[in-house]
A and B are shown apart, each in its own frame.
Chain A
Amino acid sequence: MTTATRSAPRLSTTAPRRRSAAAAAYLVLGLIALAFLVPFAWLFLSSVSEHATLDTSVPDHLTLRNFADVLTGDNLHALVNSLVLSLGSAVLTLVLAAPAAYPLSRYTRRFGRPILLILLFATGLPITAILVPVYGLFVQLDLLDSIPATILFLTATGLPMAIWLMKNFMDEVPISLEEAAWVDGASGLRALLRIVLPLMLPGTAVVFTFTFALTWGNFFVPFILLVDPAKQPASVVIFQYFGLHGTASYGLLAAFSILYSMPVVVLYTVVQRVLGNAFALSGAVKG
């Protein structure tokens, strides 16, 4: 892949060379895009195929039966479970992260630095590793199969990054605006709710989307902490479809996978449309 950029013309000031370089760049871009697109083919074709297998072939006639068949009561229930977990942890994250970020953004010098550094350190820890002790904790506290406890844990895993992001977005809101409110006798909380948060609404939306998508896509945590099938979210339920290797359930697996992916794809698209890529990343990666 690198050769394409390197073989770009030595003297790009001449027009024909520049044009051929552009053509080469488009060609390579096209090939990369194709390579990224092709693995998806199976997913989409199998979801509308009557007798889906692991091979990718255009079905003789398209059918939406897989989608209809997959929408059983149990599966809808699993999607609702996903929604409860994701909304729960996203809302709770905002409720905890916003007030936590406020003093970190406003009084960094005094005491915030060590806390910020600890939070940054925590964002780097592999959450996967914490699941073994968390399982032990859940067993001892008799919290296995508890959706609220699972939401609390999911919130805790996303919180360091969420506070960090919130703090960065909050830094962009000038403190002078709050000073005006304090003069009018507003408390810190009121200033946060009425002035700071509305001004950083895009940032709040990014943190919400981030947390929601993270939980929605999480398989390992509910797989370990929620054993009761009635409490498992879509990710775990779909995995069980996948477990039925050899049976002819690939069409259902593909259809369910698409339905399950849809909410996060839509959410990302909306946030990206409204806010733009650069903005969404500005808080995540400074520097």
Chain B
Amino acid sequence: MVAVGLPEPTRAAARRPRNVRGRRAAGRILPLVPALALLALFFLGPILWCVYASFTDVALTGATASTPHLVGLRNYRQMLHDPQFRQSLWLTVVFVLGSAVIGQNVGGMVLALLMKSRRRIARAVVGAIVVGAWVTPELVAGFVWYAFLSDDGTLNAILHAVGLHGKSWLYATPLLAVTLANIWRGTAFSMLVYSAALSNVPDDLLEAAAVDGASAFARLRHITLPLMRRAVMTNLMTITLQTLAVFTLIFVMTGGGPGTKTQTLPVYMYQSAFKFYQLGYGAALAIVLLAVGGVFSVVYLRMMREDV
């Protein structure tokens, strides 16, 4: 597929007559065609089908699997009256706010600030440990945290050793459990982004402020953070979108349970489509998930626009 000849860019193109320029532009798009075709087939196509399916009663098995009927807005109306949907939307909001916006974001910032101007060896060791959690496949992270928080798991053993009483964390505080696990897994990304952004904050500016008597907190608030604003916004957008799509971690740790206590939108979508075979309803849930992601993505796009 690479064999598609790439056009020669030339500066003279601007001076050529219109039709020649048009042909040149077409030639220039040519190398993009294979990639765009694949995206259309496996990205755009499914999304369009998803929109269509969300208006039908298509099921995974049974009569409606082969001959689905258009049911109009029934799936969406059902959604509005579905307490499980409302709950899953709420859980998703709490999960994203707790683990991405607060946990990963603040945690990453704190780590980056603490690591700045520390000894190289300390940065290397702490960095390696935190990044290690990030590099670990999501599935394994799920196992690790399942074991860590289980009844006779490591956390309870530690608590017991210092004379405290443990809990059945995965049953008593399941949402907190998956949130903590996702913070553990995702903080490295924010840390790397913020470390890179921090290294661009000029030291002499901070030193001058310190000489003028600005406290460390004042320097952070009035110099460092304003200079990192763009990095913070970009990072917040990225981790929000990533967390919105988290499925495996929750699926492994709690399976959405106990009951439906950790059934975020992706998990509920999976349950509806693949467990209860309501593909149409699952598609409608997918549309909602896509729409939420789409809204965030547009905001993200607006922020990145100047760079394109």
Contacts and interface: CB of A to CB of B under 8 A. Distances in A.
Contacts of B110: 1-2, 4-5, 32
Among the interface residues B3, B6, B230, which one has the most CB atoms of the partner chain A within 10 A?
B6
Contact of A152 (B42, B196, B234): B42
A12 B206 CA distance: 11
Given A128-B246, A261-B135, 10 more contacts: A13-B211, A39-B145, A99-B35, A107-B9, A115-B36, A219-B138, A220-B247, A235-B137, A235-B139, A285-B234
Contact of A111 (B28, B210, B303): B28
Contact of B266 (A98, A128, A160, A178): A128
Interface string B96-140: 000000000011001101110010001001110111110111111
Chain B interface mostly: helix
A61 interface: no
A122 B237 CA distance: 14
How many interface residues does chain A have, given as a range?
A: 35 or more
Interface in A103-123: 103-104, 106-108, 110-111, 113, 115-117, 120-123
Contacts of A129: 50, 245, 266, 269, 286-287, 289-290, 293
Interface string A80-105: 00000000000000011111101110
B199 A133 contact: no
Given A39-B144, A260-B140, A265-B132, A10 B2 contact: no
B90 interface: no
Interface in B148-193: 148, 150-154, 157-158, 184, 192-193
B153 A55 contact: yes
B300 A120 contact: yes
Given A126-B290, A188-B6, A257-B143, A100 B36 contact: yes
Interface in A9-43: 9-13, 21-22, 25-26, 28-30, 32-33, 36-43
A54 B199 CA distance: 42
Contacts of A156: 38-39, 41-43
Nearest to A267: B135
Nearest to B151: A54
B146 to A, nearest CB: 8
A102 B6 contact: yes
A136 B279 contact: yes
Given A6-B217, A129-B293, A132-B273, A42 B153 contact: yes
A52 to B, nearest CB: 10
Contacts of B235: 285
A130 interface: yes
Contacts of A277: 127, 192, 195-196
A56 interface: yes
A82 to B, nearest CB: 10
B114 A278 contact: no
Interface string A54-71: 111100000000000000
